[in-house]
């Protein structure tokens, strides 16, 4: 039996989603009517997954505090450590055969190269654990030939190129370490298939090329991309997965539809089984 807790705020569409999802006999869903109860569920070892539901976003701050986030525990820019303290969100988005993690999506996330490096590595490991080959697209605020138009664009171009370079090196370190530990032919094939590419501002090409991780220039632009795809262009959101956390936690909007909450419940169930 899979135990999932979902938050219930003013938006009662959560209850409609729970009613439909509960038809799964292997799924036990409980309701948390405030942040305190939801945080209790996070701490409860008998609960397999937690979903924000329609509670206010303040729960994310509580989650980060519980994860013991301190400034000195941030990942080093040149570290390939397997241990992360930061919690970052990546939205799982799907339309037809196109599905990918979009990150950063929190408006206060992904401000520096170090933060985006951490998010990218977390996303890489998450996709790999799901049994898929990570294909990462790095985005910037312009095309490569736009360099020199203004300082803001130049900074995003430089940052995207630096991030691409460092990320390739750090992922290579991780894969070499994993290969030396496992020494399997399967890892050799995997190492030849994964990809990391700078697409600059060409997000349409990054999506059409089948990348399953999209790294936006920062959290504000990532949030805008999310709203454009999901709220205006019929891409389906399954919620934002909390990366760097030892339990499955899915962040959802307090204004989500019944189907949106239902998708989040199905994703939580699928990840738990995985």
106-157: pLDDT as tens digits: 888 899 999 999 999 999 999 999 999 999 999 999 999 999 999 999 999 9
CATH 3.40.50.10750 spans which residues of the chain? 84-240
How does pLDDT run across 226-249, given as a tens digit for each residue? 999 998 998 999 999 999 888 899
Task: Write down the pTM of the prediction.
Answer: 0.86
Instruction: Please report, for residues 207, 215, 249, the alpha-carbon distance to residue 235 in angstroms, rounded to integers and kept in the order given.
Output: 12, 17, 21
**CA dihedral defined by 210, 211, 216, 221, rounded to 10 degrees?**
20
Could you confirm whether domain 84-240 is CATH 3.20.20.70? no
Q: How many other CB atoms are found less than 10 A from the CB of residue 158?
A: 13
Amino acid 45: pLDDT: 93
Model confidence at 274, pLDDT cuts 50, 70, 90, reads: confident
Domain 1-67+245-274, what fold? Rossmann fold (3.40.50)
Q: Are 214 and 226 within 8 A, CB to CB? A: no
% of the chain beyond a pLDDT of 70: 88
Question: Cβ neighbours of residue 155 under 8 Å, at least 6 residues apart?
Answer: none
How does pLDDT run across 29-55, given as a tens digit for each residue? 999 999 999 999 999 999 999 999 999
Q: Cis (ω within 30 of 0) for the bond into 58?
A: no
Tell me: pLDDT of 211 over 90: yes
CATH 3.40.50.2300 spans which residues of the chain? 1-67+245-274
Model confidence at 185, pLDDT cuts 50, 70, 90, reads: low
Give the residue among 23, 41, 89 at the shortest CA–CA distance from 253: 89
Amino acid 21: pLDDT: 97
């Amino acid at each position: 039996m899979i135990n999932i807790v979902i938050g219930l705020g003013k938006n009662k569409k959560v209850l409609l989603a729970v009613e439909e999802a509960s038809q799964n006999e292997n799924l036990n869903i409980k309701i948390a009517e405030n942040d305190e109860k939801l945080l209790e569920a996070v701490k409860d070892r008998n609960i397999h997954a937690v979903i924000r539901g329609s509670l206010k976003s303040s729960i994310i701050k509580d989650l980060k505090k519980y994860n013991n986030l301190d400034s000195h525990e941030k990942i080093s820019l040149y570290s390939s450590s397997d241990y992360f303290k930061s919690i970052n969100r990546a939205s799982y988005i799907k339309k037809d055969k196109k599905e990918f993690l979009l990150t950063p999506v929190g408006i206060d996330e992904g401000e520096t190269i170090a933060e985006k490096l951490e998010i990218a590595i977390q996303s890489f490991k998450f996709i790999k654990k799901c049994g898929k080959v990570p294909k990462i697209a790095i985005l910037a605020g312009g095309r490569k030939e736009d360099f020199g138009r203004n300082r803001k664009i130049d900074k995003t171009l430089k940052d995207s190129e630096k991030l691409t370079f460092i990320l390739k090196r750090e992922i290579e370190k991780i894969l070499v370490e994993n290969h030396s530990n496992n020494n399997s032919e399967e890892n050799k094939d995997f190492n030849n298939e994964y990809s990391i590419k700078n697409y600059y501002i060409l997000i349409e090409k990054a999506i059409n090329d089948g990348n399953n991780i999209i790294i936006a220039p920062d959290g504000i632009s990532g949030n805008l991309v999310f709203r454009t795809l999901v709220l205006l262009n019929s891409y389906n959101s399954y919620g934002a997965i909390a990366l760097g956390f030892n339990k499955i936690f899915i962040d959802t909007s307090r204004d989500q539809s019944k189907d949106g909450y239902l998708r989040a419940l199905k994703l939580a169930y699928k990840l738990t089984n995985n």
